[in-house]
């Protein structure tokens, strides 16, 4: 069952272990730890490029309308500059959100679970034991980065609003935690696959790829189409 821990404020500097709400117990080992790439968060989560293009079109339209109404290029340019300043402020705020998201997020894979420490104002840590993960998918993007989507068992559910933006988009009825914008995502996926298989009893182990699935709850690490 998914467990989560709440802590108010930015107390990351006093964490017993980086990215974790408590020190790892005996027998549990840290295999991988990472954070989202700021640039990918800005582009893929906050759609900075699309917003910039939209603002540019609005500025072009404003310039054309003011010039048409006044007949003055100088007046149209002055009006557009003021609007551009506000638009630049908006883009800067989106970049700041992306930066804060990347800096306050730590994803951890151990030999027993996945831990997601997320949250800018309210810091949350979601513990996802391997026993509660039904499957996983890799969504690879350019330059080896990508997302790792985790599907929980049907009886386990974390509110979408608590996960966002670390959730698969539009999966509202049964939210799927997502490790977003990871550099070298295939390395993290391979480690997760290996750790999940090692944690299973021999009779429950599955074969990844071609061949029959012998476990009712396999972790199938595969490649999904890029959204």
Helix axes 73-103, 48-70, angle to 10 degrees: 170
3-16+30-36+106-223 under CATH 2.30.29, yes or no = yes
> What is the full per-residue pLDDT of the chain (227 aa) written as tens digits?
434 454 444 455 567 788 888 899 999 999 999 999 999 999 999 999 999 999 999 999 999 998 888 888 888 898 899 899 999 999 999 999 999 999 999 999 999 999 999 999 888 999 999 999 999 999 998 778 899 999 999 899 899 999 999 999 999 999 999 999 999 899 999 999 999 888 875 445 443 333 332 333 334 443 333 33
Question: Could you tell me whether strands 178-182 and 146-152 are parallel, antiparallel, or unpaired per DSSP bridges?
Answer: antiparallel
Closest CA to 189 of 153, 132, 119, 140: 140
Q: For the chain, give every residue range classified as CATH 2.30.29.
A: 3-16+30-36+106-223
Q: Which helix (H) or strand (E) holds 197?
A: helix 185-199
pTM of the model: 0.80
């Amino acid at each position: 069952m998914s467990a989560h821990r709440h802590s108010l404020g930015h107390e990351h500097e006093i964490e017993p272990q980086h990215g974790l709400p408590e020190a790892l117990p005996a027998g549990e080992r840290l295999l991988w730890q990472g954070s989202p790439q700021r640039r990918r968060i800005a582009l893929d989560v906050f759609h900075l490029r699309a917003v910039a293009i939209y603002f540019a079109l609005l500025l072009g339209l404003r310039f054309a309308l003011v010039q048409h109404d006044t007949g003055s290029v100088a007046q149209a340019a002055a009006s557009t500059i003021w609007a551009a300043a506000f638009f630049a402020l908006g883009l800067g705020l989106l970049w700041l959100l992306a930066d804060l998201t990347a800096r306050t997020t730590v994803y951890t894979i151990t030999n027993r679970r996945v831990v997601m420490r997320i949250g800018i104002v309210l810091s949350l840590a979601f513990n996802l034991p391997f026993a509660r993960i039904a499957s996983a998918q890799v969504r690879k993007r350019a330059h080896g980065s990508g997302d790792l989507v985790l599907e929980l068992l049907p009886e386990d559910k974390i509110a979408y609003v608590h996960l966002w933006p670390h959730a698969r988009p539009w999966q509202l009825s049964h939210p799927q935690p997502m490790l977003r914008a990871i550099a070298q995502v295939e390395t993290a996926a391979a480690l997760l696959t290996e750790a999940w298989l090692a944690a299973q009893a021999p009779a429950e182990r599955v074969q990844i790829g071609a061949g029959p699935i012998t476990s009712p709850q396999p972790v199938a690490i595969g490649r999904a189409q890029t959204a």
